[in-house]
Structure 1
Amino acid sequence: MSRLSHREIVESVPQKGFFGHPKGLFTLFFTEFWERFSYYGMRAILVFYMYYEVSEGGLGMSEPLALSIMSIYGSLVYMSGIIGGWLADRVFGTSKAVFYGGILIMFGHIALAIPGSVALFFVSMVLIVIGTGLLKPNVSSAVGEIYPKDDHRLDAGFSIFYMGINLGGFIAPLIVGELMKTSFHLGFAAAAVGMFIGLVTFVITKKKNLGLAGTQVPNPLSPQEKKNWTKYTVIGLVAIAAVLAVMIPRGWVTIEGVIALVGVLGILIPTVYFIVMYRSPKTTPTEQSRLIAYIPLFIASVMFWAIAEQGSTILARYADKRTDLNAFGFEISPAWFQSLNPLFIIVLAPLFAWMWTRLGDRNPSIPRKFSFGLLFAGLSFLVILLPGMLSGEGALVNPMWLVLSYFLVVLGELCLSPVGLAATTRLAPAAFSAQTMSLWFLSNAAAQAINAQIVKLNTPETENLYFGTIGGLSIVLGIILFLAAPKIVKFIKE
C-alpha cells in the first residue's frame, strides 16, 4: 500500500462541522470526554479507597503509602504512553491503539467495581495503566493529524479538545464522589460505564468523521523487524512472569521497592528517549534543533505537573482531613474538590482559545507561555500556606482556600498544557510523531514519580515548609524560563 501524505489524510477529513473545526474533532472530543470521565471518576475516590479502613469499605492502607501509590499509579499511566506511542507508530496506527486501549481501561474499572482484595486492586491498576498508555497519547496525536500544516486553528482546536477532557473530569467526581458514600465499588462501576460509552462513540463515528486519520502506521516495522519484535516480546513476557513467580512468594518484591524503581524510571526513560530520537538517522538537522528547544519545555512541564498532580494526593487528603466540609451548611464530599480544576478550565478554556487566536502575531512565545504556567503553579502552593499560618496546625480551614489554590493552578495549566500539546505536534520529528506525544505525557509521569518520593514529606509539622519550598522553586524556574525564551525560540526554527 502506498504511503499517504499528510495532505491526503487531511482531505479525507471533513474540515468544517464542529465549531468551525474539522468534523473529526467531534469524535476525538467525545471519545476523550468519556475516557477522562472514567479516569477522573476513579481517581477522585481512589486515594480514599486505599487509606479508609476496611470497616468503611476501603483497603486500610497507611496514608503515606496510599499517597505514594497514587502518585506511582499516575506516573505509570503516563509512562505507559511510550509503549502506546511506539505501537501506534510502528504496529497499529493511532485508531486501533485508541480502540484497544479503551477496552483494557473498561475492564480495569470493572475489576475495581468487583468487591475483592488488594490483589484485585493491583490487577485493575495493570489494565488501566496499559490501556491508558494505548489510548491517551494517540487520541491527542490524532487531533494534530486532522488539521492542515500551519493551520491557525490548531491551538484553538487543542483548547476545545482540552475542554472536552475537563468536561468529563468535572462531571465524574461529582457523580462518583456521591456514589462513594454508598459504596466505593458503585463509583468504580460508573467509571466502567463511562469508558464503554466512549468506545461506542468512537466506533460509530470514526469512519465518517476521521476519514483516513489514524489508519496509517507512520514508521511500520519491516517483516524481519516484526518477526523479531514478536519473538522478543514473548520471551520478555515469559521471563518477567518467571522472575516474579520466584520473587513474589519470597517477599523480594515490595511496594516500597516498586515505588523507588518507578522513581528512577520516571527520569531515566525520557532521558534515553530524547537521546534516541536526537541520534536517529531519521531525524533531520532541523528536527534535532527543535528537540533541543523541547528539552527546557519538558523540564518546565515536569515542574508544573509535580504541583498540579498533587491535587489528587496531598490536596485530596487536605480536603478530607484539614478542610471544614460543613462550611456551607451541608456536607461536602472531599472528592468534589477535584471537580474544581476541570470546572475552571471549562469556563476559562474558551477565553484562552479566543485570546491566543485574537493576539495573532502578538502571541507570547511558547517558552513564555510555559513560564506563566510555572508562575501560577507556584502561587497556587504559596496560597495554601496562608490558612495553616492563620488557623494553626491541625485546625479545619475554610474550603475557599482550596478553591483559590485550584483556580491559580488552572490559570497555569491553560498557559502550559494545551500549548504544550500543540507545540509537541509542531516540534515532533516526522518518524516519531506519536512517540513524541508520548514523550510529552512522560513529563507528567516524571513529575508523579518524583511526587511518590516527596509526598511522604508532607506532615502536619512540615506543611508550611513543604508548600513554600515547592511553590517557590516553581516561581524561580518560571523566571529563568522567561528570560531564556528568546534563545529557545531560535532553536525552534519556525
Structure 2
Amino acid sequence: MSQITKEQIVESVPQKGFFGHPKGLFTLFFTEFWERFSYYGMRAILLFYMYYEVTKGGLGISESTALSIMSIYGALVYMSGVIGGWLADRLFGTSKAVFYGGILIMFGHIVLAMPGGATALFISMGLIVLGTGLLKPNVSSVVGDLYSSDDIRRDSGFSIFYMGINMGGFLSPLIVGEIGLKYNFHLGFSIAAVGMFFGLVMFLVTKKKNLGLAGTQIANPMKPEERKRFMLITLAAVVVLGILIFISIPRGWLTFDSFIGLVGILGFLIPFSYFIVMYRSKKTTSDEKSRILAYIPLFLAAVMFWSIAEQGSTILALYADKRTNLDVFGFHISPAWFQSLNPLFIIVLAPVFAWLWIKMGKRQPTIPQKFSFGILFAGLSFIVILLPAYFGGADTLVNPLWLALSIFIAVLGELCLSPVGLSATTKLAPAAFSAQTMSLWFLSNAAAQALNAQLVKFYSAETEMMYFGIIGGVAIALSLILFALSPFISKFMKGVH
C-alpha cells in the first residue's frame, strides 16, 4: 500500500456522528466494549473454575496453583501487546490486527466453553493471550487515527472510549459470573465467546462506513526480502521451541514452577532491556536521557501498584468466595460480582478526578507525587482488608462492605496513577521511541503480575493478616519514599510537569 498522510486518513473518516465525535468512535467503542466484556467475564469465573472440585464443575486444581496460573496469564496478556504492536507496525496495520486478534480471542473462549479439562484451559489461554496482544494495543491506536493532532476533541474521545472499556468490565462479571457460578462454568465461558462475536460483527459491519482509512496504514512495512526472512526465522523459532518443550517436559526441566520463574524473569528483563536500549541510543538527546532516568522510579512504583490492584482477580476473588458472607438481607451475592466494583467506581469517580486536577491547576501535585498517592492508597486497601481478621478472627465470615471498601480505596489509587501514568509516558518518552515507551508502560502491569505469581503462593487462611500487612506496609513505605524523592525526580524530568 502506498504511503498515505495523517490528513488523508482523518479526511476519510466521517467526523460527526457519535456524541459530536467521528463515527469511527462508535465502531471502536463497541468493539472494545464487547472485547472487555468477554475478557473480564471470563476472568471473573476462571479462578473458581480452576480450583472448584470436579463434582462442582471445576478442574480441582489446588488454590495456590490456580492463583499462580491467573497471575502468569495476566502477565503474558500484557507482554503479548509488545508483539501485537510490532506485527501491526510491520505486517498487518492496526485495523487488521484488531480483527485477527478478535478472532483468536473468540476461539479462545469457544475452546474454554467446551469441557476439555486442563488441556482446553491452556489452549484457550494461548489463543486469548495472542489475540489480546493483537487487539488491545492496536484498537487504541485506531482511535488516535480518527483525530488530527490538533483536534480539541481528542482527549474527550479517549475518555469516551475508556468508558466503553469500563462499561464492559462492569457488566460482564454480573452476567457471566451469575450464570457461570449458578448454572455451569462452560455456559458462562460461552457467553464470553458470544460477547467477542458481537464485537467482531460490530467491527466488520461498521468498519468500512465509519473508519475510512483509519488503521489501514502499515507504519513501517517490511520489504519482500524482510518478510521472507521473518517467516523463515519465525518458522525456525517455532520448530526449535517445540523441540525444546518436547525434550524439557519428560526430563523435568520444564515444570509449572520453572515456567512461572521464567515468566517472572522476563517480566523484569524485557522492560529493563527497553530502558537500556533507549538510554544508550544515539537518537536519544541528553534531556531525554534525563527523563528516562526520572521514568524508572515511576515505572517501579507502577509495578508496586499493579501488584496490589491486579490481585482483585486472584487473592481478593478467593477472599470473596471463601471469607466473605455472601448472604445479606436474604439475598445471595455471587463472589464474581465483586469484580464489577472496580470498573463501576472508575466510571463514577474518573470525572471527579479529571475535574479535581483542572480545578487545582498549577497547585495540583506533581507527577511523582500523584504516583506516591497511588501506591499509598493501594497499600491502605490491603491494610483495610486485614482488619476484619484482626477484630473478628480468621474463622468468621466477613461483611462484604469490607471488601467493597478495600476495592474502593484501590480505585482511588488507580485514578491517581493509571491515567497520570499514560499521560506522563507520552511526555517523558524519547521522540524516537514514543510508541515503544507506551508498550513499556503496559509492561509495568506484566512485571507486577509476574511478581504476583510468586507472591500469591504465600497466601492462606493462616497467613492472611501477615500477607496483607506486609504487602500493604511495603507499599505505604515506598509511597513515603517516593513522595520524599519527588522534587529530585521532577528535576530529572527537564520541564515536564
Q: Same fold (TM over 0.5)?
A: yes
Query: Which residue pairs with 1:241 in the alignment?
Result: 242
8 A Cα contact 1:141 1:437, kept in partner: no
TM-score with structure 1 setting the length: 0.93
CA contact (8 A) 1:89 1:432 kept: no
Q: Which runs of 5+ in 1 are unaligned?
A: none
User: 1:20, CA displacement in angstroms?
Assistant: 4.6
Query: Partner of 2:402: helix, strand, or coil?
Result: helix
Residue 434 of structure 1 and its aligned partner are, at CA, apart by: 4.0
Which AA in structure 2 matches 1:457? F
Distance 1:450 1:18, change over 3 A: same
Distance 1:39 1:204, change over 3 A: same
| Residue 47 of structure 1, CA deviation | 0.5
Residue 345 (structure 1) aligned with residue 346 (structure 2): yes
Q: Secondary structure at the match of 1:36?
A: helix
SS in structure 1 opposite 2:332?
coil
SS at match of 2:139: helix
Q: Tell me the amino acid that sits aligned with residue 414 of structure 1.
A: L
Which structure has more relative contact order (CA 8 Å, sep 6+)? It is 1
Shift of 1:177: 1.1
What secondary structure does 2:75 align onto?
helix
- What is the match of residue 138 of structure 2? 138
Paired residue for 2:276?
275
- Pairwise CA RMSD of aligned residues? 2.4
* Distance (whole Å) between structure 1 residues aligned to residue 169 and residue 78 of structure 2: 17
Kindly tell me: are residues 25 and 486 of structure 1, through their superposed partners in 2, closer, same or farther at Cα, counting changes over 3 Å? farther
Match of residue 214 from structure 1: 215
Q: Which amino acid aligns with 1:341?
A: N
1:352-398 deviation digits (Å, cap 9, x = unpaired): 33444555555543333322221211111111111111110221110
Equivalent residue for 2:372?
A: 371
Change (3 A) 1:305 1:211: same
Q: What does 1:194-343 correspond to in 2, within 5 Å?
A: 194-283=195-284, 287-343=288-344
Whole-Å separation in 2 of the counterparts to 1:61 and 1:49: 9
AA matched with 1:302: V
Rounded to whole Å, the distance in 1 between the matches of 2:43 and 2:19 is: 31
AA aligned to 1:461 is E
Q: What's the CA shift string for 1:214-257, capped at 9, x where partnerless?
A: 22222333444333222111100111112222333444422112
- TM-score by length of structure 2 reads 0.92
Match of 1:127 in 2: 127
Deviations 1:126-163 (A, max 9, x none): 00111111111222333344444466655544333222
- CA shift for structure 1 position 281: 4.5
Over 3 Å counting, the alpha-carbon distance change for 1:336 and 1:6 in structure 2 is: same
With over 3 angstroms needed to count, the CA separation of the structure-2 counterparts of 1:243 and 1:395, relative to structure 1, is same
| Deviating more after overlay: 39-48 vs 460-469 | 460-469
> What letter is aligned with 1:370?
F
Counterparts of 1:73 and 1:130 in 2: how far apart (Å)? 11
Deviation at 1:267, TM superposition (A): 0.9
Partner letter of residue 96 of structure 2?
Answer: K
**2:100 maps to 1:100:** yes
Report what 2:458 is aligned to: 457
Q: Residue in 1 aligned with 2:42?
A: 42
- Structure 1: how far apart are the matches of 2:287 and 2:40? 38
CA distance in 1, matches of 2:217, 2:288: 22
Distance 1:381 1:284 in 2: 41
**Partner Cα distance (2:195, 2:25) in 1:** 19
CA contact (8 A) 1:13 1:211 kept: yes
Q: Contact 1:89–1:435 at 8 Å: present in 2 too?
A: no
User: 1:425 Cα shift?
Assistant: 3.8
Matched, 1:415 2:416: yes
State the AA in 1 paired with 2:379.
G
Hey, what's the Cα distance between the residues in 1 that align with 2:306 and 2:68?
Answer: 15
Deviation per CA, 1:192-221: give whole Å up to 9, x if none.
Answer: 111111122222333444443322222333
What code does the residue aligned with 2:73 have?
A: Y
**How far apart, CA to CA, are the structure 1 residues paired with 2:15 and 2:365?**
28
Residue identity matched to 2:334: S
SS at match of 1:347: helix
The one-letter amino acid of 1:265's match is L
**Structure 1 residues 14 and 290: alpha-carbon distance in aligned structure 2, compared to 1, 3 A threshold:** farther
Residues of 2 paired with 1:6 and 1:77: CA distance? 30
Segment of structure 1 superposing worse, 327-336 or 384-393: 327-336
Q: Find the residue that maps to 2:115 and give its secondary structure.
A: coil
> Could you tell me how far 1:285 is from its partner in structure 2?
5.0
| Conservation of the 8 A alpha-carbon contact between 1:75 and 1:448 | yes
Any residues of structure 2 matched to 1:159-170 within 5 Å, and which? 159-170=159-170
For structure 1, which segment, 382-391 or 89-98, has the greater mean C-alpha deviation from structure 2 after superposition? Answer: 89-98
Question: In 2 relative to 1, CA 140–110 (structure 1 residues): closer, same or farther, beyond 3 Å?
Answer: same
State the alpha-carbon separation in 2 of the partners of residues 236 and 355 from structure 1.
50
Which stretch of structure 1 is more off in the superposition, 419-428 or 396-405? 419-428
Give, in angstroms, the shift of residue 288 of structure 1: 4.1
2:436 aligned counterpart, secondary structure: helix
**Matches of 1:246 and 1:25, distance apart in 2:** 49
Moved more, 212-221 or 395-404: 212-221
Q: Check 1:289–1:379 CA distance in 2 against 1; reply closer, same or farther (3 A cut).
A: same
Inter-CA distance 424–219: structure 2 relative to 1 (3 Å threshold): farther
Structure 2 CA distance, aligned partners of 1:485 and 1:421?
18
- Whether the aligned pair in 2 keeps the contact of 1:159 and 1:350 (CA below 8 Å) is no
Structure 2: any 5+ residue segments left out of the alignment?
A: none
Cα shift readout 1:91-146 (whole Å, capped 9, x = no counterpart): 22222211111111110000000011211111001001111111112223333444
Inter-partner Cα distance in structure 2 for 1:363 and 1:25 = 31
Aligned length: 494
- Distance in 2, Cα, partners of 1:293 & 1:151: 30
Identity among equivalent pairs (%): 71
Report how far residue 165 of structure 1 moved: 1.1
Aligned to 2:385: 384
Residues 85 and 139 of structure 1, relative CA distance in 2, 3 Å threshold:
same
2:171 maps to 171
- Paired residue for 2:66? 66
